[in-house]
Amino acid sequence: MIHIAPSSQVSAEQAASWHAVLAASLARDLPDEPRPTPEQVQAQLTAAGLDSRRLFWLATESGGAVAGVAALRLFTSPGQDHLAELDLHVHPDRRRSGTGSLLLDAAVRAAKSERRRSLITAAADGGPGDAFCAARGLRRVLTLDHLLLDVAQADDAAAGIEHPDYELVDWTGTVPGELAEAFAAAKNAMNDMPTGDMDYGDQAWTADRVRAMADVLADRGDLLLTTAALGKGEMAGYTEIVIRAGETRRALQYDTAVVPAHRGHGLGLWVKAAMVRRLRAEHPGIAEIETDNAQDNTHMLAVNWRLGFRSHRRTHQYQLDLPTA
Ligand SMILES: CC(C)(COP(=O)(O)OP(=O)(O)OC[C@H]1O[C@@H](n2cnc3c(N)ncnc32)[C@H](O)[C@@H]1OP(=O)(O)O)[C@@H](O)C(=O)NCCC(=O)NCCS
Protein backbone atom coordinates (compact mmCIF):
# COMPACT_ATOMS: atom_id res chain seq x y z
CA MET A 1 0.00 0.00 0.00
CA ILE A 2 1.48 3.33 -1.08
CA HIS A 3 0.60 6.59 0.62
CA ILE A 4 1.16 9.81 -1.34
CA ALA A 5 1.77 12.76 0.97
CA PRO A 6 1.92 16.31 -0.43
CA SER A 7 3.88 19.09 1.19
CA SER A 8 5.11 22.56 0.43
CA GLN A 9 8.29 22.07 2.48
CA VAL A 10 10.75 19.23 2.86
CA SER A 11 12.17 18.32 6.30
CA ALA A 12 15.80 17.28 6.74
CA GLU A 13 14.67 13.66 7.18
CA GLN A 14 12.57 13.77 4.01
CA ALA A 15 15.47 15.35 2.12
CA ALA A 16 17.68 12.41 3.16
CA SER A 17 15.06 9.93 1.85
CA TRP A 18 14.72 12.02 -1.28
CA HIS A 19 18.44 11.80 -1.87
CA ALA A 20 18.40 8.01 -1.38
CA VAL A 21 15.65 7.56 -4.03
CA LEU A 22 17.24 10.01 -6.47
CA ALA A 23 20.75 8.54 -6.14
CA ALA A 24 19.45 4.98 -6.64
CA SER A 25 17.33 6.07 -9.62
CA LEU A 26 20.24 7.85 -11.33
CA ALA A 27 22.63 4.97 -10.55
CA ARG A 28 20.25 2.64 -12.38
CA ASP A 29 19.46 4.77 -15.42
CA LEU A 30 22.59 6.91 -15.85
CA PRO A 31 25.35 4.89 -14.16
CA ASP A 32 28.18 6.95 -15.65
CA GLU A 33 26.82 10.29 -14.45
CA PRO A 34 28.01 11.94 -11.23
CA ARG A 35 25.36 11.68 -8.55
CA PRO A 36 24.27 14.60 -6.37
CA THR A 37 25.46 14.64 -2.78
CA PRO A 38 22.95 14.68 0.11
CA GLU A 39 23.90 18.33 0.73
CA GLN A 40 23.21 19.29 -2.88
CA VAL A 41 19.79 17.61 -2.78
CA GLN A 42 18.94 19.23 0.54
CA ALA A 43 19.93 22.65 -0.84
CA GLN A 44 17.96 22.12 -4.07
CA LEU A 45 14.86 21.15 -2.12
CA THR A 46 14.97 23.82 0.54
CA ALA A 47 16.43 26.97 -1.09
CA ALA A 48 13.90 29.26 -2.76
CA GLY A 49 13.81 29.19 -6.57
CA LEU A 50 13.77 32.21 -8.88
CA ASP A 51 10.21 33.41 -9.55
CA SER A 52 8.76 30.04 -8.65
CA ARG A 53 7.47 27.94 -5.80
CA ARG A 54 7.38 24.18 -5.45
CA LEU A 55 5.08 21.41 -4.28
CA PHE A 56 6.47 18.06 -3.16
CA TRP A 57 5.12 14.53 -2.82
CA LEU A 58 6.69 11.50 -1.17
CA ALA A 59 5.29 8.05 -1.94
CA THR A 60 5.67 6.07 1.28
CA GLU A 61 5.12 2.36 1.86
CA SER A 62 3.23 1.13 4.93
CA GLY A 63 6.54 0.32 6.66
CA GLY A 64 7.68 3.92 6.17
CA ALA A 65 10.16 3.40 3.31
CA VAL A 66 10.04 6.08 0.60
CA ALA A 67 9.44 4.45 -2.81
CA GLY A 68 9.22 7.56 -4.96
CA VAL A 69 9.44 11.36 -4.96
CA ALA A 70 8.04 14.17 -7.07
CA ALA A 71 8.61 17.93 -7.13
CA LEU A 72 6.48 20.32 -9.16
CA ARG A 73 7.92 23.75 -9.88
CA LEU A 74 5.25 26.39 -10.42
CA PHE A 75 6.65 29.41 -12.23
CA THR A 76 5.27 32.74 -11.07
CA SER A 77 6.67 35.37 -13.47
CA PRO A 78 4.15 36.77 -16.00
CA GLY A 79 5.74 35.11 -19.08
CA GLN A 80 5.82 31.68 -17.46
CA ASP A 81 2.92 31.49 -15.04
CA HIS A 82 1.19 28.97 -17.33
CA LEU A 83 3.96 26.42 -16.71
CA ALA A 84 4.64 23.60 -14.22
CA GLU A 85 7.84 21.54 -14.32
CA LEU A 86 7.86 18.03 -12.87
CA ASP A 87 10.80 16.06 -11.49
CA LEU A 88 9.74 12.48 -10.69
CA HIS A 89 11.77 9.47 -9.54
CA VAL A 90 10.81 6.01 -8.32
CA HIS A 91 13.36 3.80 -6.58
CA PRO A 92 14.53 1.11 -9.04
CA ASP A 93 13.38 -1.69 -6.68
CA ARG A 94 9.86 -0.26 -6.56
CA ARG A 95 9.17 0.37 -10.22
CA ARG A 96 6.36 -1.03 -12.36
CA SER A 97 3.90 -1.12 -9.48
CA GLY A 98 2.05 2.08 -10.24
CA THR A 99 3.97 4.43 -7.90
CA GLY A 100 5.15 6.68 -10.74
CA SER A 101 1.58 6.91 -12.00
CA LEU A 102 0.24 7.84 -8.55
CA LEU A 103 2.83 10.61 -8.22
CA LEU A 104 2.16 11.87 -11.75
CA ASP A 105 -1.60 11.92 -11.07
CA ALA A 106 -1.05 13.95 -7.90
CA ALA A 107 1.17 16.43 -9.75
CA VAL A 108 -1.28 16.77 -12.65
CA ARG A 109 -4.16 17.41 -10.23
CA ALA A 110 -2.12 20.11 -8.50
CA ALA A 111 -1.07 21.69 -11.82
CA LYS A 112 -4.70 21.83 -12.91
CA SER A 113 -5.85 23.38 -9.66
CA GLU A 114 -3.04 25.94 -10.04
CA ARG A 115 -4.53 26.70 -13.51
CA ARG A 116 -1.40 25.65 -15.39
CA ARG A 117 -1.68 25.19 -19.15
CA SER A 118 1.38 22.97 -19.59
CA LEU A 119 3.26 20.45 -17.49
CA ILE A 120 6.77 19.58 -18.67
CA THR A 121 9.25 16.94 -17.57
CA ALA A 122 12.55 15.47 -18.81
CA ALA A 123 13.41 11.83 -19.49
CA ALA A 124 16.68 10.20 -20.52
CA ASP A 125 16.72 8.85 -24.08
CA GLY A 126 15.81 5.16 -24.12
CA GLY A 127 15.27 5.00 -20.33
CA PRO A 128 12.14 4.04 -18.41
CA GLY A 129 11.00 7.67 -18.24
CA ASP A 130 10.72 7.69 -22.04
CA ALA A 131 8.36 4.69 -22.00
CA PHE A 132 6.48 5.97 -18.94
CA CYS A 133 5.82 9.42 -20.47
CA ALA A 134 4.61 7.90 -23.73
CA ALA A 135 2.37 5.42 -21.84
CA ARG A 136 0.93 8.22 -19.72
CA GLY A 137 -0.02 10.43 -22.69
CA LEU A 138 2.74 13.06 -22.54
CA ARG A 139 4.15 14.13 -25.89
CA ARG A 140 7.77 14.68 -26.82
CA VAL A 141 8.34 18.38 -27.56
CA LEU A 142 12.12 18.84 -27.57
CA THR A 143 15.28 16.74 -27.71
CA LEU A 144 18.42 17.99 -25.99
CA ASP A 145 21.93 16.80 -26.82
CA HIS A 146 24.12 16.79 -23.72
CA LEU A 147 27.75 17.51 -24.55
CA LEU A 148 30.88 17.21 -22.44
CA LEU A 149 34.09 19.21 -22.79
CA ASP A 150 37.37 17.81 -21.50
CA VAL A 151 38.84 21.06 -20.15
CA ALA A 152 42.46 19.87 -20.52
CA GLN A 153 41.90 19.04 -24.20
CA ALA A 154 39.72 22.05 -25.08
CA ASP A 155 40.75 24.32 -27.95
CA ASP A 156 40.72 27.78 -26.35
CA ALA A 157 42.74 29.50 -29.12
CA ALA A 158 39.74 31.72 -29.95
CA ALA A 159 40.22 33.46 -26.59
CA GLY A 160 43.29 35.15 -28.11
CA ILE A 161 41.55 36.48 -31.24
CA GLU A 162 41.44 40.30 -31.42
CA HIS A 163 37.96 41.85 -31.43
CA PRO A 164 38.92 45.54 -31.61
CA ASP A 165 35.42 46.87 -30.92
CA TYR A 166 34.92 44.69 -27.87
CA GLU A 167 36.48 43.97 -24.50
CA LEU A 168 36.10 41.01 -22.17
CA VAL A 169 34.96 41.40 -18.57
CA ASP A 170 34.34 38.73 -15.99
CA TRP A 171 32.90 38.45 -12.52
CA THR A 172 31.98 35.86 -9.89
CA GLY A 173 28.52 35.78 -8.29
CA THR A 174 26.39 38.91 -8.62
CA VAL A 175 26.97 41.19 -11.60
CA PRO A 176 28.76 44.46 -10.68
CA GLY A 177 26.27 47.29 -10.25
CA GLU A 178 27.43 49.32 -13.25
CA LEU A 179 26.87 46.33 -15.58
CA ALA A 180 23.55 45.11 -14.17
CA GLU A 181 21.24 46.90 -16.63
CA ALA A 182 23.35 45.91 -19.64
CA PHE A 183 23.52 42.32 -18.41
CA ALA A 184 19.72 42.14 -18.01
CA ALA A 185 19.30 43.44 -21.56
CA ALA A 186 21.71 40.81 -22.88
CA LYS A 187 19.97 38.04 -20.93
CA ASN A 188 16.74 38.84 -22.76
CA ALA A 189 18.51 37.56 -25.90
CA MET A 190 18.15 34.05 -24.43
CA ASN A 191 14.44 34.17 -25.19
CA ASP A 192 15.09 33.25 -28.81
CA MET A 193 16.84 30.02 -27.80
CA PRO A 194 15.17 27.15 -29.72
CA THR A 195 12.73 25.28 -27.47
CA GLY A 196 11.04 23.03 -30.06
CA ASP A 197 7.31 22.64 -29.44
CA MET A 198 7.71 23.21 -25.71
CA ASP A 199 5.34 25.80 -24.22
CA TYR A 200 8.21 27.35 -22.25
CA GLY A 201 7.21 31.02 -22.41
CA ASP A 202 9.55 33.98 -22.01
CA GLN A 203 11.58 35.40 -19.16
CA ALA A 204 11.80 39.16 -18.79
CA TRP A 205 15.12 40.08 -17.20
CA THR A 206 15.69 43.24 -15.19
CA ALA A 207 18.67 44.31 -13.09
CA ASP A 208 16.82 43.18 -9.95
CA ARG A 209 16.04 39.80 -11.47
CA VAL A 210 19.65 39.05 -12.47
CA ARG A 211 20.68 39.88 -8.90
CA ALA A 212 17.91 37.62 -7.55
CA MET A 213 19.15 34.78 -9.79
CA ALA A 214 22.67 35.16 -8.38
CA ASP A 215 21.20 35.12 -4.84
CA VAL A 216 19.37 31.85 -5.53
CA LEU A 217 22.61 30.18 -6.59
CA ALA A 218 24.56 31.66 -3.66
CA ASP A 219 21.90 30.41 -1.21
CA ARG A 220 22.51 26.89 -2.52
CA GLY A 221 26.26 27.36 -2.14
CA ASP A 222 26.82 27.24 -5.91
CA LEU A 223 29.48 29.34 -7.60
CA LEU A 224 28.41 31.39 -10.64
CA LEU A 225 31.11 32.55 -13.08
CA THR A 226 30.27 34.94 -15.90
CA THR A 227 32.42 36.19 -18.78
CA ALA A 228 30.99 38.87 -21.06
CA ALA A 229 31.90 40.89 -24.14
CA LEU A 230 31.25 44.64 -23.93
CA GLY A 231 31.13 46.76 -27.05
CA LYS A 232 29.50 49.80 -28.63
CA GLY A 233 27.99 50.77 -25.29
CA GLU A 234 26.26 47.44 -24.76
CA MET A 235 26.80 43.99 -23.40
CA ALA A 236 27.11 42.10 -26.67
CA GLY A 237 27.25 38.59 -25.27
CA TYR A 238 28.06 36.51 -22.22
CA THR A 239 28.52 32.99 -20.96
CA GLU A 240 27.78 31.56 -17.50
CA ILE A 241 29.28 28.53 -15.73
CA VAL A 242 28.06 27.10 -12.44
CA ILE A 243 30.14 24.97 -10.09
CA ARG A 244 27.71 23.35 -7.69
CA ALA A 245 28.47 23.27 -3.96
CA GLY A 246 30.83 20.41 -3.16
CA GLU A 247 31.58 19.75 -6.84
CA THR A 248 35.18 18.88 -7.56
CA ARG A 249 35.15 17.69 -11.16
CA ARG A 250 32.26 18.82 -13.35
CA ALA A 251 31.06 22.35 -14.07
CA LEU A 252 27.70 23.10 -15.66
CA GLN A 253 27.16 25.44 -18.56
CA TYR A 254 24.28 27.84 -17.94
CA ASP A 255 23.39 30.55 -20.48
CA THR A 256 25.45 31.62 -23.43
CA ALA A 257 23.94 34.38 -25.56
CA VAL A 258 24.98 36.95 -28.12
CA VAL A 259 22.46 39.74 -28.67
CA PRO A 260 21.09 39.92 -32.24
CA ALA A 261 22.89 43.13 -33.30
CA HIS A 262 26.27 41.59 -32.43
CA ARG A 263 25.86 38.13 -33.96
CA GLY A 264 28.09 36.79 -36.73
CA HIS A 265 31.41 38.10 -35.32
CA GLY A 266 32.55 35.04 -33.38
CA LEU A 267 31.69 36.55 -29.99
CA GLY A 268 30.00 33.40 -28.71
CA LEU A 269 33.15 31.38 -29.36
CA TRP A 270 35.26 34.20 -27.90
CA VAL A 271 33.49 34.38 -24.54
CA LYS A 272 33.31 30.60 -24.21
CA ALA A 273 37.01 30.12 -25.04
CA ALA A 274 37.87 32.87 -22.54
CA MET A 275 35.78 31.04 -19.94
CA VAL A 276 37.76 27.83 -20.56
CA ARG A 277 40.99 29.75 -19.89
CA ARG A 278 39.48 31.26 -16.79
CA LEU A 279 38.38 27.88 -15.44
CA ARG A 280 41.86 26.44 -15.99
CA ALA A 281 43.40 29.33 -14.10
CA GLU A 282 40.86 29.77 -11.28
CA HIS A 283 39.51 26.23 -10.83
CA PRO A 284 42.20 23.82 -12.00
CA GLY A 285 40.36 20.86 -10.42
CA ILE A 286 37.44 21.20 -12.83
CA ALA A 287 38.04 18.58 -15.51
CA GLU A 288 34.87 18.82 -17.59
CA ILE A 289 31.97 21.05 -18.54
CA GLU A 290 28.50 19.72 -19.30
CA THR A 291 26.12 21.59 -21.57
CA ASP A 292 22.87 20.76 -23.31
CA ASN A 293 21.63 22.11 -26.59
CA ALA A 294 18.46 21.71 -28.59
CA GLN A 295 19.31 19.64 -31.64
CA ASP A 296 18.37 22.49 -33.98
CA ASN A 297 20.47 25.08 -32.11
CA THR A 298 23.02 24.86 -34.91
CA HIS A 299 25.04 27.99 -34.08
CA MET A 300 25.58 27.04 -30.45
CA LEU A 301 26.39 23.47 -31.41
CA ALA A 302 28.96 24.71 -33.95
CA VAL A 303 30.64 26.84 -31.26
CA ASN A 304 30.67 23.88 -28.91
CA TRP A 305 32.18 21.50 -31.49
CA ARG A 306 34.91 24.09 -32.19
CA LEU A 307 35.84 24.17 -28.51
CA GLY A 308 36.00 20.37 -28.41
CA PHE A 309 32.69 19.43 -26.79
CA ARG A 310 31.63 15.86 -27.61
CA SER A 311 28.21 14.18 -27.58
CA HIS A 312 27.54 12.48 -24.32
CA ARG A 313 23.87 11.55 -23.97
CA ARG A 314 20.42 12.77 -24.91
CA THR A 315 17.26 13.71 -23.05
CA HIS A 316 13.74 14.40 -24.23
CA GLN A 317 11.41 17.02 -22.86
CA TYR A 318 7.82 15.84 -22.57
CA GLN A 319 4.74 17.96 -22.19
CA LEU A 320 1.19 17.40 -21.04
CA ASP A 321 -1.32 20.00 -22.25
CA LEU A 322 -3.85 20.67 -19.51
CA PRO A 323 -7.41 21.92 -19.91
CA THR A 324 -7.59 25.59 -18.97
CA ALA A 325 -11.37 26.07 -18.71
C1 LIG B 1 9.68 6.72 -15.09
C2 LIG B 1 9.40 6.23 -13.67
C3 LIG B 1 9.03 7.44 -12.81
C4 LIG B 1 8.20 5.26 -13.73
O5 LIG B 1 7.87 4.87 -12.41
P6 LIG B 1 7.00 3.51 -12.16
O7 LIG B 1 6.56 3.51 -10.76
O8 LIG B 1 7.76 2.33 -12.65
O9 LIG B 1 5.77 3.77 -13.15
P10 LIG B 1 4.39 2.94 -13.24
O11 LIG B 1 4.52 1.64 -12.55
O12 LIG B 1 3.30 3.84 -12.77
O13 LIG B 1 4.28 2.72 -14.81
C14 LIG B 1 3.14 3.13 -15.58
C15 LIG B 1 3.29 2.64 -17.00
O16 LIG B 1 4.40 3.29 -17.64
C17 LIG B 1 5.02 2.39 -18.58
N18 LIG B 1 6.39 2.10 -18.14
C19 LIG B 1 6.98 2.48 -16.99
N20 LIG B 1 8.25 2.04 -16.96
C21 LIG B 1 8.46 1.36 -18.10
C22 LIG B 1 9.59 0.68 -18.65
N23 LIG B 1 10.74 0.59 -17.99
N24 LIG B 1 9.44 0.10 -19.88
C25 LIG B 1 8.27 0.15 -20.54
N26 LIG B 1 7.17 0.79 -20.07
C27 LIG B 1 7.28 1.37 -18.87
C28 LIG B 1 4.18 1.11 -18.55
O29 LIG B 1 3.15 1.26 -19.52
C30 LIG B 1 3.61 1.17 -17.14
O31 LIG B 1 2.43 0.40 -17.00
P32 LIG B 1 2.57 -1.20 -16.75
O33 LIG B 1 3.59 -1.42 -15.68
O34 LIG B 1 1.17 -1.58 -16.31
O35 LIG B 1 2.98 -1.80 -18.06
C36 LIG B 1 10.64 5.48 -13.10
O37 LIG B 1 11.06 4.48 -14.00
C38 LIG B 1 11.81 6.40 -12.82
O39 LIG B 1 11.96 6.91 -11.72
N40 LIG B 1 12.65 6.66 -13.85
C41 LIG B 1 13.78 7.58 -13.73
C42 LIG B 1 13.30 9.02 -13.63
C43 LIG B 1 12.59 9.49 -14.88
O44 LIG B 1 12.85 9.11 -16.00
N45 LIG B 1 11.67 10.42 -14.67
C46 LIG B 1 10.98 11.07 -15.77
C47 LIG B 1 9.62 10.57 -15.98
S48 LIG B 1 8.44 11.74 -15.42
- The two beta strands, 139-150 and 288-294, are antiparallel
Asked if pLDDT for residue 212 goes beyond 70, the answer is yes
Distance CA 22, CA 16 (A): 10
Q: Whose CA is nearest to atom 48 of ligand 1?
A: 88
pLDDT at 194: 85
**pTM of the model as a whole:** 0.94
Q: Is residue 319 part of a domain?
A: no
Q: Whose CA is nearest to atom 23 of ligand 1?
A: 128
Gap from CA of 71 to ligand 1 centroid (Å): 16
Task: Please provide the average confidence, as pLDDT, over all residues in the chain.
Answer: 96
**Residue 102 structural domain:** 2-116
Q: Is residue 53 part of a domain?
A: yes
DSSP for residue 173: S
pLDDT digits (tens, 9 = 90+) for 66-91: 999 999 999 999 999 999 999 999 99
Query: Is the CB of 90 within 6 Å of ligand 1?
Result: yes
Query: In Å, what is the CA distance from 115 to each residue of 49, 272, 314?
Result: 20, 40, 31
Distance CA 120, CA 317 (A): 7
pLDDT at 325: 66
Gap from CA of 132 to ligand 1 centroid (Å): 4
Rounded to 5°, the CA angle 278-284-287 comes to 100
Residue 192 — pLDDT band, cuts 50, 70, 90? confident
The torsion region of residue 221 among left (phi > 0), alpha (psi -120 to 50) and beta comes to left
Q: Whose CA is nearest to atom 5 of ligand 1?
A: 100
Q: Whose CA is nearest to atom 21 of ligand 1?
A: 128
Q: Are residues 111 and 46 in the same domain?
A: yes
pLDDT at 262: 95
Q: Are residues 232 and 173 in the same domain?
A: yes
Q: Are residues 170 and 265 in the same domain?
A: yes
Q: Are residues 289 and 162 in the same domain?
A: yes
Q: Are residues 163 and 25 in the same domain?
A: no
Q: How many CA atoms lie within 13 A of 187 on its CB side?
A: 23
Cβ proximity of 206 and 258 under 8 Å? no
Number of domains making up the chain? 2
